[in-house]
Amino acid sequence: MVNHYTSMKKKRSTDVYSPGGIFGKRPDRAVIVYSNKIREAYKDSPIIIGGIEASLRRFSHYDYWSDKIRRSILLDSSADLLVYGMGEKQIIEIAESLDSGLPIEEITYIKGTVYKTKDKDRAFEPIFLPSYDEVVSSKLKYAESFKIQHENTDAINASVLVEQYDNIYVVQNSPADTLSALELDDVYDMNYEMTYHPVYEKDGGVPALEEVKFSVTSVRGCFGGCSFCALNFHQGRTIQARSHESIIAEVEKMTKAKDFKGYIHDIGGPTANFREVSCEKQLKHGVCKNKQCLTPNKCGNLIVDHSDYVQLLRKLRKLPNIKKVFVRSGVRYDYAMYDKSDEFIKELAKHHVSGQLRTAPEHVSNNVLELMGKPSIEIYNKFVDKFNKENKKLGLDQYIVPYFISSHPGCTLNDAVKLAEYIRDMGHMPEQVQDFYPTPGTLSTCMYYTETNPLTGKPVYVPKSVEDKRMQRALMQYKKRENYSLVLKALQKTNRHDLIGFGEKCLIKPPIKNN
């Protein structure tokens, strides 16, 4: 749905994940459509769904496109079993169970899976979520359900969760165990073709491949805790890192490709500079249920260490036929700033940026940033200063390109004006502007729907009207002529007439009065 529609729910004109980039090759809600079509053709065959769409929709969830609460995708797809998370261990266990002759309805014990049953006693020591009927009728119950799910995403300390639909129970077993470095290497060391299927060649291939073809996944998981990211719900917060040897072998394979030009586009993952678990405690007890590692303040137990990542990048730079190794995954700048050594930032500036370093401060208003799960803008400003000073020492003309999100829950029009002032003082407008896009499985989406922070119970202002969203977006690109009337309206509504005029601090000129 994200691939088909903009944040304003308008159909996109292209689909970079389809052959030739042609829109309309796949249906909306593809998992549901395909699974039901398969059920029509193979009535008695087991159907198992997985991947990001199934993973994020495993319980009842707010659906932005229909503006309503949808049921678990396990029910709407008519599938028998749902795999959530990355799925390697589950796939093997399911295959072995089926191969042994066990009927699909009896496969109810595998971690990282969701099944449906009419017998609620099948679940072992579960936590019962508010029922589907309750979350549909009460936003507070929806928030309560989300909070419980949010607290049970770790393989070590998560409980079994159950959600009732009349006489059917959807049961989520605890997450699959994380993969060791050896297991993760085994996954990535398989003989992948590393390209699209040859049948798509006649259509010009699949455009999305170009962005990632020469990129390498270094890690899985993320303890960054961004509220608008569904990664916690899918991969979890525990870092799982591949060995240097495995990554080097993949890069060496890439260098043999006919169209390889000497550039590795990325060595990263959800967050490029996370290569270590956040603390020793989580290895035994799991991640904290009610506390984040980096926000609102750095946890005292947080391990901050870039040495392994720096060593990996150095090894890759020395490989034959490698001209440049870029770091394009998100760099968590607060984590970099907490490192007592500046080695990573120095190496990043000297070797792994090509003119621009893309970062994601997301906003500048600290009350919005707190709801986003992002660090204060002061930390970001310090990172920018340090990066710029390093480039000056190196004699390099490189600069940071920030990403910002408009209309995130908690962002008032005054906050949006504050962001516009920050952009003004940067001296250049952002190339891309992203409206907040509510997707299943995120804390921000729960706040958007319920207008409540489910973790605190406090109310949250949410800009939902089309006009509010358009004004917030326009303020981020206030210099564009087509945005003038929206920016003017926003400044008038917030009583910021001081920003309308001819002074150097003004965002726009006064409107021309007709005689």
How many helices and strands, by DSSP H and E, does the chain display? 20, 17
**What percent of the chain has a predicted confidence (pLDDT) above 90?**
95
Residue 510, CA distances (Å) to 483, 489, 501 in order: 14, 12, 5
pLDDT at 413 > cutoff 80: yes
Contact 41, 73 (CB under 8 A): no
Tokens 């796949």 locate to 26
**What is the reported pLDDT for 430?**
81
CA triple 217-221-224, angle to 5 deg:
115
pLDDT at 513 > cutoff 80: no
Contact 154, 237 (CB under 8 A): yes
Contact 285, 157 (CB under 8 A): yes
- Calpha distance 304→312 (Å, rounded): 16
The helix (run of H) or strand (run of E) holding residue 420 is helix 413-426
Instruction: Report, as an integer, the average pLDDT of 50-54.
Output: 96
Judged by average pLDDT, the poorest of 152-161, 258-267, 368-377, 424-433 is 424-433
pLDDT at 154 > cutoff 70: yes
**What percent of the chain has a predicted confidence (pLDDT) above 70?**
100
Answer positive or negative: Cα dihedral of 372, 145, 141, 467: positive
**What is the reported pLDDT for 355?**
87
Confidence band of 176 (pLDDT split at 50, 70, 90): very high
**What is the reported pLDDT for 241?**
97
State the CB neighbour count (10 A cutoff) for residue 91.
15
State the CB neighbour count (10 A cutoff) for residue 30.
14
The closest of 82, 86, 104, 108 to 95, measured between CA atoms, is 104
Residue 132, CA distances (Å) to 75, 164, 201, 219, 446 in order: 12, 6, 45, 35, 15
- Beta-sheet strand order (sheet of 81-83): 48-49, 81-83, 113-117, 168-172, 161-165, 127-128
Exposed/middle/buried for 329, CB within 10 Å: 0-12, 13-18, 19+?
buried
In tens, the pLDDT along 475-500 reads 999 999 999 999 999 999 999 999 99
The closest of 484, 409, 392, 417 to 453, measured between CA atoms, is 409
In tens, the pLDDT along 369-379 reads 999 999 999 99
Instruction: Report, as an integer, the average pLDDT of 400-406.
Output: 93
- Calpha distance 198→209 (Å, rounded): 13
**What is the reported pLDDT for 234?**
94
- Calpha distance 364→380 (Å, rounded): 9
Tokens 């000297």 locate to 350
Contact 464, 8 (CB under 8 A): no
Task: Find the length of the chain.
Answer: 515
Sequence-distant (6+) residues with CB within 8 A of 87 are 50, 51, 112, 176
State the CB neighbour count (10 A cutoff) for residue 385.
10
Confidence band of 514 (pLDDT split at 50, 70, 90): low
**What is the reported pLDDT for 515?**
55
The closest of 283, 284, 280, 279 to 299, measured between CA atoms, is 279
Mean pLDDT across the chain: 95
Record the tokens describing residue 19, joined without a space.
Answer: 């052959």
In tens, the pLDDT along 333-345 reads 999 999 999 999 9
Record the tokens describing residue 416, joined without a space.
Answer: 């949006």
In tens, the pLDDT along 128-150 reads 999 999 999 999 999 999 999 99
Confidence band of 361 (pLDDT split at 50, 70, 90): very high
